[in-house]
Amino acid sequence: MAEIDKTRQILETVMVIPAGKVATYGQIADLAGLPGRARLVGSSLRSEFDGAEVPWQRVLRADGKIAFPSGSPKAEEQRQILIAEGVCVKNNRVSLADYRWQPDMATILSALKY
């Protein structure tokens, strides 16, 4: 059952990402207290994809690219939502330098629920 806790921790962390900002799978894993488990972030989002409760669209690959092939339905949907939130997406990619989420200490502590 520990796996469920990890998944929930990841989803809670993702839900803390503010609109207009993005984060990478690895970054979420780190913030969730699970360094090196970037893949777990992906599989967690896949199993939960409600769209409304968890802002999965704000999670990108380490290089800022959307985690789906350009042109795929998912990639298009994600791109559209991000643009609606004010994030500039070019060539299936987002400039992390401009939109990367950089949470302050208080936010991190809150996400980890210490």
Partner DNA sequence: GATGTGACTTTGT
Partner DNA sequence: CACAAAGCCACAT
Give the footprint of DNA on this chain (CB under 7 A). 3, 6-7, 24-26, 36-43, 45-47, 49, 56-57, 59, 61-63, 67-68, 74, 78
Smallest distance from DNA to CB 86, Å? 19
Q: How far apart are CA 17 and CA 113, in angstroms?
A: 15
Smallest distance from DNA to CB 28, Å? 9
| Complex with DNA: residue 3 or 104, whichever CB lies closer | 3
Smallest distance from DNA to CB 108, Å? 17
Which backbone phi and psi does 23 adopt, to 5 degrees? -145, 165
| Complex with DNA: residue 40 or 89, whichever CB lies closer | 40
Smallest CA-to-CA distance from 23 within 48, 59, 57 is with 59
Beta-carbon contacts of 82 under 8 Å, excluding residues fewer than 6 positions away, are 22, 57, 58, 89, 94
Q: How far apart are CA 6 and CA 109, in angstroms?
A: 16
| Complex with DNA: residue 41 or 111, whichever CB lies closer | 41
